[in-house]
Structure 1
Amino acid sequence: MSIHTEVKRITTHTLQRMKQKGEKIAMLTAYDYSFARLLDEAGIDVLLVGDSASNVMAGHETTLPITLDQMIYHAASVVRGAKRSLVLVDLPFGHYQGNSKEALQSTIRIMKETGAHGIKLEGGEEILESVKRILTAGVPVMGHLGLTPQSIYKFGTYNVRAQEEAEAEKLRRDALLLEEAGCFALVLEKIPAQLATEVSQSLRIPTISIGAGGGCDGQVLVMHDMLGINNEFNPRFLRRYADLYAVVNGAVKQYIKDVRSGDFPNESEQY
């Protein structure tokens, strides 16, 4: 007799409890079914279908070109692979800035067409109306402050943000505004570790760091970076846990060699 064990899905409530207990949250990006399944089975808490798909999947220089349809395609694929992880989706550039009605319509499309569990958007006070409108539809929202890659042309650089007191003060204020509006968590990207720790301690909701130090309630990395699929990108905050570039490169070279020599397929590999 086989005992069927129900996999318990991680929810926004789970993350809240983890913060209260001091348990760190592990989050990674994912863009397709096969990798989502791998990461989910390994026990990752949160999968973010990041607009970084624009860079790592589509080869664009920035996150700006990716469309809502493309994000929906990636998100639906990830949801099919994730049985346990909480799956969040980035609202792409141009679908919430300055238009809260469009923000809600885009969110509803994502939720209906992908089966994801919530969305993430970048910015503070400027996007508050969009955040509130999305929350009225009962959709969980994760905020994102600090370096916000969709605003890259405004910043003009991917350097550390909020080093000046005025920008740090705005970030503190925005974090509280997003919490008050009802966001369930916040990503803090590339800001001084001390500021990130201070913000994390001032909030009831969990904070997730990417290049914002160890004082946050969790960490997120882009999967392609931490697995070493991308080998050109080397920021200080990145730790590579594998060198898949070398593994895949070596495997393909061996395959080519075996095909050329007639070694593949051998007797046992044909019908």
Structure 2
Amino acid sequence: MVTVADLREQDEPITMLTAYDAPTAELVDEAGIDSVLVGDSLGNAMLGYDSTIPVTMDDVARATAAVARAVDEALVISDLPFLSYGVDPAESVANAGRLLKEAGAQAVKIESGPHTVELTERLTQVGIPVMAHLGLTPQHVHGIGGYARQGTTEEQAAEILDLAEAHQEAGAFGLVMEHVPREVGAAVTEALEIPVIGIGAGPDTDGQVLVVNDAVGLSPSVPSFARAFGDVRGEMRDAIEAYRDAVVEGTFPDDDHSHSEGLDL
């Protein structure tokens, strides 16, 4: 089984995908992906929300437990959703601990800022591994005015680098860097000893993460920095339409899909 220590020491690029249910997690694990992220992106990807803001601790805990039951090898990392941390320190620790103790995660991810440095240190002290997250942080979508690329000025890039170093010093075992110029992704990766996992941060990070719906082609559209490596949406549509047609035409169920006991009724 992949551990936090394994990711820190891994020489080849780190692979990470999100998953929110057992069947998907099983496929991701069988494919040899290093880490499964139970992201609060489940709000957009699975629950029909327009953002991650409405996602609750119960939502994430339930999805994490399903994923953890299906995974044998990959490291399971779980997101702390909006307002489950950063308000009350004791509640923050309790929520993070719940994802490990009850749901089966092996680490948590926190959308980070100046306010999460001390929390990262505290969680690490009590045995909860923390992956930081800088750049575009979707839980702050209302404050930053949308999903625009971050770190586009030298001042912003320097702030991101300072925060990345502060979270490394606080004990974070890794960092997700989202939707920043490739120069920022490269500079942060060069500056840190912990692995940097990019999503829209260019090719020079230590690894990559995508939302699984985007990667397999299930999303109706993908962000500019993502890529669909399949067409699951099209395959599902074709299968559903074929099922509908077979029922309407009376070709399903046929003899091969029906069972008879020869009853004389």
TM-score range for the pair, normalised by the shorter chain length: over 0.9
Partner of 2:134: 145
Q: 1:98: how far off? A: 3.3
- Structure 1, residues 214-262: CA drift from partner, whole Å, max 9, x if none? 000000000011111111x332211101111110001110111111111
What residue in structure 1 maps to residue 200 of structure 2? 211
**Alignment partner for residue 16 of structure 1, among 2, 8, 18?**
8
Rounded Cα–Cα distance in structure 2 between residues aligned with 1:251 and 1:157: 36
Aligned ranges 1:117-128 → 2 under 5 Å: 117-128=106-117
Match of 2:224 in 1: 236
- Counterpart of 1:114 in 2: which secondary structure? coil
The whole-number CA distance in structure 1 between the counterparts of 2:219 and 2:143 is 26
Q: Is the 8 A contact 2:118 2:170 kept in 1?
A: no
Please list, as runs of the form range in 1=range in 2, the aligned pairs for 1:1-80 lying within 5 A after superposition.
9-18=1-10, 21=11, 23-80=12-69
Poorly superposed stretches of 4+, deviation over 4 Å? none
* Aligned equivalents of 1:167, 1:78: Cα separation in 2: 36
Are positions 1:246 and 2:238 aligned together? no
1:112-261 matches, within 5 Å, as 112-231=101-220, 233-261=221-249
Whole-angstrom CA distance in 2 between matches of 1:174 and 1:101: 23
Deviation larger for 103-112 or 143-152: 103-112
Structure 2 residues not aligned, in runs of 5+: 260-265
TM-score if structure 1 supplies the norm length? 0.94
Give how far 1:16 is off. Answer: 1.2
Q: Which runs of 5+ in 1 are unaligned?
A: 1-8
**Separation in 1 of the partners of 2:173 and 2:118?**
16
- What's 1:4 paired with? none
Whole-angstrom distance in 2 between the partners of 1:234 and 1:221: 10
Cα distance, 1:159 vs structure 2: 0.9
Residue 121 of structure 1 aligns to a residue whose secondary structure is strand
Q: Deviations over 1:9-29 (max 9, x none)?
A: 0011111111xx3x1000000
CA positional deviation for 1:127: 1.1
Separation in 2, partners of 1:143, 1:80? 25
What is the identity percentage for the equivalent residue pairs of Structure 1 and Structure 2? 39
Structure 2 residue aligned with 1:6: none
What is residue 263 of structure 1 aligned with on the other side?
251
Mapped partners of 1:240, 1:70: distance in 2: 26
Secondary structure at the counterpart of residue 111 of structure 2: coil
SS in 2 for 1:143: strand
- In 1, the alpha carbon distance for the partners of 2:256 and 2:235 equals 25
Give the total of aligned pairs: 259
Q: Distance in 2 between matches of 1:196 and 1:124?
A: 17
Deviations 1:98-141 (A, max 9, x none): 32221101011111111110000011322112111111111110
Q: Answer whether contact 1:99 1:130 (CA < 8 A) is retained.
A: no
**CA distance in structure 1 between the partners assigned to 2:218 and 2:133 by the alignment:** 25
Deviation at 1:97, TM superposition (A): 2.0
Secondary structure of 1:26's aligned partner: strand
1:169-193 CA-to-partner distances (Å, cap 9, x unmatched) read 1101000000000100000000000
